[in-house]
A = this chain, B = another copy of it.
């Protein structure tokens, strides 16, 4: 029997089809972490009808947020670990997840700037999370993704999001090519 620290882990899934390989991945991660004794919050952003459009009145630090955004913010701020599961669309996450980052990873809850820094400098991390896992699916062969497109999701996850917010460890796993894969390969 192994003893592991019980952690709060949020899993964020962004895929438009309930029968997708992304769903299977997210459900497998959720089930495995739960079985290992962790407290898992699973969010299927499409199923939850998440609205990804950041409105102007949510910009001020002391903005009165819609209840759902406040709940997401509080959960993400308190999570010990984060897992993102999404396909590679145009070298980026689907818009619904891009907007989750835009609205939920807010200044004041995810990061802040030191006094005198009006927002152009180096942020102070406010998240508890010590690690993140990004799982992507792709229809582009990995060598073409790296050589032709520069695999932007690598730096977006590790540097632009986790690095910016001060999450020290970000692991990434890419599965592909999905469109030509067999059922056996996806097992």
B-binding residues in A (CB < 8 A): 16-17, 46, 52-56, 59, 89-96, 98-99, 101-102, 105, 118-120, 139-141, 148-150, 152, 155-156, 159-161, 163-164, 177, 179-180
Tell me, in angstroms, the Cα distance from A149 to B160 when the chains sit together. Answer: 6
Tell me, in angstroms, the Cα distance from A140 to B156 when the chains sit together. Answer: 15
Specify which of A53, A59, A139, A155 lies most central, judged by the most chain B CB atoms within 10 Å of its CB: A53
Tell me, in angstroms, the Cα distance from A119 to B99 when the chains sit together. Answer: 26
Task: Across the interface, name the chain B residue whose C-beta is closest to A58.
Answer: B16
List, in ascending order, chain B residues with CB within 8 A of A140's CB.
120
Q: How many copies does the complex hold?
A: 2
Residue pair A179, B95 in contact (C-beta under 8 Å): no
Tell me, in angstroms, the Cα distance from A159 to B140 when the chains sit together. Answer: 13
Residue pair A92, B96 in contact (C-beta under 8 Å): no
The 3 A-B residue pairs with the shortest CB-CB distance in the complex, in nearest-first order? A95-B99, A91-B160, A52-B95
Tell me, in angstroms, the Cα distance from A99 to B120 when the chains sit together. Answer: 27
> Knowing A16-B55, A159-B148, A160-B149 touch, does A120 contact B141 (C-beta < 8 A)?
yes
List, in ascending order, chain B residues with CB within 8 A of A91's CB.
152, 155-156, 159-160
Residue pair A177, B120 in contact (C-beta under 8 Å): yes
Residue pair B90, A95 in contact (C-beta under 8 Å): no
List, in ascending order, chain B residues with CB within 8 A of A156's CB.
90-92, 152
List, in ascending order, chain B residues with CB within 8 A of A180's CB.
118, 120
